Structure 1
């Protein structure tokens, strides 16, 4: 079976991320770098991560948040009087394991 057939079969089985990565490896001829088990694990992990990312994106979209907030986009300008260190501590979520309130 040639690589094109393999890629088409992967796509038919709805393993698009796996097909994409396999195609990239075929183009770059990177097969000699790892064993068959390592290569299969790489493809499987890539497909798994792709599905998880799509799931997160879908759930975020379904949540219908009013604003798309991101911690990296917080404006810490002096007039807002926000404590950057406190935000950094809150982002670790350690207060949950210590059973502390906000």
Structure 2
């Protein structure tokens, strides 16, 4: 048996993790006390875990998060009306299974974006396709897509995402074009996939923010009434870090 030929065949079949493990086993004389079945299971598990890890890395990269975050770094000590039990339940992603939404509100620096992205990363780790947008930039992207004739493609991509995160919602004026884009997105995702909206603007002010009563009613009806809420309070966490 030509072990090195076997390793090369594994690499050509893109079973790189399996090939590396097998190569180490024959060059370093590892796993000699393993049965054939146990060693085969080890190689398959190693390849599986490696591919899962790569899938997660690709999903996180393609999501477009603005910063590297981890749920392990969430601050539960600062008083900002953040209930640990509630957030851990949301991190369990059952709301995504139920095609429900999440609205995170609070003053600037209260950690809205961080929490939204933590949930987004967790979704990626569970192999759910996720997209993150700064809302103003998304509206600009949608306007450009209309000019270039790729708007339908953009909406289709968003439709396929199991989780959409719209961050900093309402920080810029929502004009007629943006209203139409927002309605298209919400309609396509209604009862099909989950959306997280992070914003400084209280939900009670959204109707006036969106403008045009008919469209505002349609958007709010589809997203607000099927949403979980996190309403953060308190001073900016960024200010707290600077003081420390």
Q: Give the TM-score, by structure 1 length.
A: 0.73
Q: Distance in 1 between matches of 2:95 and 2:57?
A: 26
Unaligned regions of 5+ residues in structure 2, if any? 101-225, 229-244
Q: Distance in 2 between matches of 1:2 and 1:28?
A: 16
| 2:13 match | 13
| 2:156 match | none
| 1:80 match | 80
Q: Distance in 2 between matches of 1:70 and 1:82?
A: 16
Unaligned regions of 5+ residues in structure 1, if any? none
Compared CA separation, residues 66 and 96, structure 1 to 2 (3 A): closer
CA RMSD of aligned residues (A): 2.6
Is 2:31 the partner of 1:30?
yes
Q: Give the TM-score, by structure 2 length.
A: 0.35
Shift of 1:58: 1.1
Q: Distance in 2 between matches of 1:65 and 1:3?
A: 43
Per residue, is there more strand in 1 or in 2? Answer: 2
Q: Which moved more, 1:87-96 or 1:70-79?
A: 87-96
Contact 2:31–2:39 (CA under 8 A) maintained in structure 1? no
Q: Distance in 2 between matches of 1:41 and 1:32?
A: 14
Structure of larger gyration radius: 2
Q: Distance in 2 between matches of 1:57 and 1:29?
A: 29
